[in-house]
Structure 1
Amino acid sequence: MQAEGFVKGRPTELAVLDYGLFKVHSNDRIIGICGFAIRTDAGEVILIDTGFPAKYATDTSAAVQEDRLFEFGEVLICGPDNLPQAQLAKLGIKPADITLQICTHTHIDHVGGLGDFPASPILISAAERALPRPLYWGAVQPLEWPDQDYLEVEGDVEVGPGITVLAAPGHAPGQIALMVDLSLRCSLADQ
C-alpha cells in the first residue's frame, strides 16, 4: 500500500493517550509513556503508538521479570486503564473505529498493542519494518510482526492534508515523528 495521500481528511482533533510511567535507571529520568489519537474531518481515526504489552497491565512484576526490563528501568504505572482500548474508550473511540495505526518505532513502550487493531493498516518506516522482529528492548525480541497491511515510508512523507511523517532515526533505526497541522479555522460567526 502507498502511504502518500492515504489519509483523506484534515486533522480536527488530537488527544494524548496515557500509557503509564517509566523510570530509567541510568539517569533516574521519569518518562510519561504516551500515544496519540487523531480524528479527521473525513471521519478517520489515527492511532499513534500502543504502549506496553497488555501483560504489563495484568501483572507488571511478572512481565518485567520475563522481559528482563528491570535491567533498564522500572515500570512505575501501567494498569488496565493505561492500555490503548481503555484510553480510546475515554474518547468514545472503539477499536473498530481505528482507520490507521502509526508506529513511531518498535521499542517495548510503543508496540505492545500493535496487533490489537487488526482491521487497520500500520504505517511504519521501511527501516523498522525490515527488522526481523520489532526491537522491543535490548536482546529481548518476543514479538512477531502482526499479520496486517503495512504502509512503509522512507524519508518525509505527507500521508494526508495536514499530516506529515518525518524521518527521525537515532533513537531507533527507523524512528519517525509526525507533524500535525491543527490550524484554527474560524469565521466571523465563530467570534
Structure 2
Amino acid sequence: MALQIHILDYGDIELETSFLVLGHECGRVRRVPVYGFLITGGEYPIVVDTGYRDNAIMESLGMRGLQYHDNMIENQLARHGLRVGDIRYVLHTHLHIDHAGKDDKFPMNTTVVINRREMEFSVSGIMFPQYPKPDIKHLIDRIYEPEAMRFLDLDITGAEEIIPGVWCERAGAHTEGSMNVIVETAEGLACICGDVIYDFNDQIVNHVYTNNWMEPRVTGNHSESKRAEKGAIKKLLNNYTFLLPIHDRPAKIERQRVVGRLGMSVPGPMTETVPNRPWFPV
C-alpha cells in the first residue's frame, strides 16, 4: 500500500500579515489555518505536528486562536479511524507554540521525534515566548521515560529514516533546529516543510516586493539569515513534487514552480491550478 498524507485541521489563528511575509501589509490582520499531518499506509501511522494547546495560549504572542471541538486532535484522528494511542511516532518540524501543543495527549509509548538542535534552541530563550513552558516541559519529561523521545542529529548525520518511505532532513530555515519530513508517495516525493513556507502566493507565485527572477520572499518570522531562508525555499522547490506547509494548503511543484493546489490529502486531485508561468513581481 502506497504512503498517503492526510491533513489534520487544528483550527485557525489570526495574526498580522507581515508575520507571514516580511514587510507585507503591515498592520493587516489575517486568518490562517493550522495544520498537522497523518501519514498512513506504512509500517506505522505517524503524526507530524500537533497544533496549539488552546485558544488562550495564543494570546501570549498577541494572536487569536480559533480552535473548536472538531479541531481537537482526538477528533481529527477519529475521522481516519484512529485514536491517539494508535500513533507510533509524532514528528515535529519544530517546537513553536502552534506545532507542539498536544504532545501530552499521546501516551509515553508513542515516540516523539525531534531534531536535537531544535530541543536545544527551544530552551535557549532566543525566540521566547514562541516556545511555551507547558509544551517544552512535557517534552523534557519525556526524555526520562523509556522510548518516549527520539533525538535526531540531522546537522551531523544528514537524513534519518523513521519508517521505510519516511525520513527527516534538516530544513536550514525558520528555526535553528527545524526539520523537513519527506514521504515517498506513489506520485513523487512529498515534503512536509513546517514554516519554511507560510504563503505560496505571496512568497513564491507573486513573490511580493521582489524583482529578481525566481526569487522567493522570506517570512517575517525566522532565526536564520535571509540568504539561508531563500536558499531553503529554493531547495524545496528544486527537490520535491509536493510541498506541505503548516499554514497553507499543499502545492504541487513542477520545474520549481507552483502548478496546482491540493485538498485534504496528498497525493490527491488538484483543487485548483496555477498558470505555469514565470514568477512575476506585483
Q: TM-score range by the shorter chain?
A: 0.7 to 0.9
Question: In 1, Cα distance between the equivalents of 2:51 and 2:121?
Answer: 19
Question: In 2, Cα distance between the equivalents of 1:150 and 1:134?
Answer: 20
Structure 2: 5+ residue stretches without partners: 19-28, 188-282
Q: Which amino acid aligns with 1:122?
A: V
Q: Secondary structure at the match of 2:40?
A: strand
* 1:41/1:160 CA distance change after superposition, 3 Å: closer
Question: In 2, Cα distance between the equivalents of 1:130 and 1:11?
Answer: 35
Q: Are the equivalent residues in 2 in contact too, given 1:121–1:151 (CA < 8 A)?
A: yes
Question: In 2, Cα distance between the equivalents of 1:32 and 1:134?
Answer: 28
Equivalenced residue count is 162
Q: How much does 1:35 deviate? A: 0.4
Q: Does 1:117 align with 2:106?
A: yes
Q: Are the equivalent residues in 2 in contact too, given 1:11–1:163 (CA < 8 A)?
A: no
TM-score, normalised on structure 1? 0.74
Q: Are the equivalent residues in 1 in contact too, given 2:95–2:122 (CA < 8 A)?
A: no
Other-structure match for 1:5: none
Other-structure match for 1:15: 6
* 1:134/1:93 CA distance change after superposition, 3 Å: farther
Question: In 2, Cα distance between the equivalents of 1:91 and 1:151?
Answer: 26
Question: In 1, Cα distance between the equivalents of 2:79 and 2:31?
Answer: 25
Q: Which amino acid aligns with 2:181?
A: L
Other-structure match for 2:118: 128
Q: How much does 1:30 deviate? A: 3.4
Deviations 1:140-170 (A, max 9, x none): 6322024252211122222232112121132
* 1:124/1:63 CA distance change after superposition, 3 Å: closer
Q: Secondary structure at the match of 2:99?
A: helix
Q: Select the residue among 66, 72, 88 that pairs with 1:99.
A: 88
Alignment of 1:34-183 (within 5 A): 34-42=35-43, 44-53=44-53, 56=54, 60=55, 62-65=56-59, 68-69=60-61, 71=62, 73-75=63-65, 77-118=66-107, 119-131=109-121, 133=123, 138-139=128-129, 141-143=132-134, 144=137, 145=139, 146-147=141-142, 148=145, 149-155=148-154, 156-183=159-186
Q: How much does 1:81 deviate? A: 1.4
Q: How much does 1:36 deviate? A: 0.5
* 1:87/1:106 CA distance change after superposition, 3 Å: same
> What is the aligned-residue identity percentage?
25
**RMSD across aligned C-alpha pairs, in angstroms?**
2.4
Tell me whether 174-183 or 17-26 shows the greater mean CA deviation: 17-26
Q: Secondary structure at the match of 1:47?
A: strand
Question: In 1, Cα distance between the equivalents of 2:41 and 2:152?
Answer: 21
Question: In 1, Cα distance between the equivalents of 2:83 and 2:101?
Answer: 18
Tell me whether 100-109 or 19-28 shows the greater mean CA deviation: 19-28
Q: Secondary structure at the match of 1:104?
A: coil
Tell me whether 93-102 or 122-131 shows the greater mean CA deviation: 122-131
* 1:152/1:22 CA distance change after superposition, 3 Å: same
Higher relative contact order (CA 8 A, sep 6+): 1
Q: Which amino acid aligns with 2:47?
A: L
TM-score, normalised on structure 2? 0.52
